[in-house]
Amino acid sequence: MGEMKQMWAPWRMDYILQSKEQGCFICRIIHGDDDRNNLVLKRGEHSLVLMNRYPYNNGHLMVAPYRHIAGLEEMTPDEASEMMSLTTQSVTILRRAMKAEGFNVGLNLGDAAGAGLREHIHNHIVPRWTGDTNFMPVLGQTKVIPQSLTDLHDLLHPLFQE
């Protein structure tokens, strides 16, 4: 068995400590009409791809169904299929556009699993690079995100439209 590795993310404390917005932020984005400001990259038939406003790493994306549902068992086959298809497309685009060397992909289902928003299921796609955790977050409690979210949105959005 290999050594357990930790992914430190102390810069997310701002997100953890802030007042939680009332209602579901994913539903607000789904029903909104400012995709660039809401960091939406693609709208499918049943779900969408959006950027995480509080990323673990540059390029951290999420895929969520339009329906406000919490669990896998509530998803229709079409929703589940499209979520996996959009997750695959996201990995492909991040590998191409950002030269990602690996990915953490997954669902946090329920409070015990660390779900920040447990009422609306969403899949996380976090691009990784060898050595992407360095002294800054470990010692300085600062994460260096080398690109603004809007600049990254403008880079990725056209790739999702191809």
Q: Give the mean pLDDT of the chain.
A: 83
The answer to whether residue 2 sits within a structural domain is no
Task: Collect contacts of 100-108 with beta carbons under 8 A, ≥24 apart.
Answer: 100/59, 100/127, 100/128, 100/129, 101/128, 101/129, 101/130, 102/127, 102/128, 102/129, 102/130, 103/127, 103/128, 104/7, 104/56, 104/128, 107/72
The answer to whether residue 91 sits within a structural domain is yes
Q: Is the pLDDT of residue 13 over 60?
A: no
Is 122 one of the catalytic residues?
A: yes
The answer to whether residue 83 sits within a structural domain is yes
Please give the residue range of the domain that contains residue 67: 24-161
What is the enclosing helix (H) or strand (E) of 121? none
pLDDT in tens, 20-34: 556 899 999 999 999
Predicted confidence band of residue 127 (pLDDT cuts 50, 70, 90): very high
The answer to whether residue 17 sits within a structural domain is no
CATH number reported for the structural domain that contains residue 142 in this entry: 3.30.428.10
Q: Which is the catalytic residue, given 46, 60, 120, 122?
A: 122
What mean pLDDT is predicted for residues 114-131? 87
Name, in order, each residue with C-beta under 8 angstroms of 123's C-beta and a sequence gap of 6 or more: 62, 63, 64, 83, 87, 105, 106, 107
Predicted confidence band of residue 19 (pLDDT cuts 50, 70, 90): low
The answer to whether residue 19 sits within a structural domain is no
Are 61 and 125 in contact by the 8 Å Cβ rule? The answer is yes
pLDDT of residue 149: 83
The total of structural domains in the chain comes to 1
The answer to whether residue 139 sits within a structural domain is yes
pLDDT of residue 136: 43
Q: Return the exposure string of 13-44: e unless at least 16 CB atoms fall within 10 Å of the residue's CB, then b.
A: eeeeeeeeeeeebbbebbeeeebeebbbbbeb
The answer to whether residue 16 sits within a structural domain is no
The answer to whether residue 128 sits within a structural domain is yes
What is the enclosing helix (H) or strand (E) of 75? none
What Rg do the C-alpha atoms of the chain give, in angstroms?
16
pLDDT in tens, 59-113: 999 999 999 999 999 999 999 999 999 999 999 999 999 999 999 999 988 888 8
Predicted confidence band of residue 138 (pLDDT cuts 50, 70, 90): very low
Q: Is the pLDDT of residue 45 over 60?
A: yes
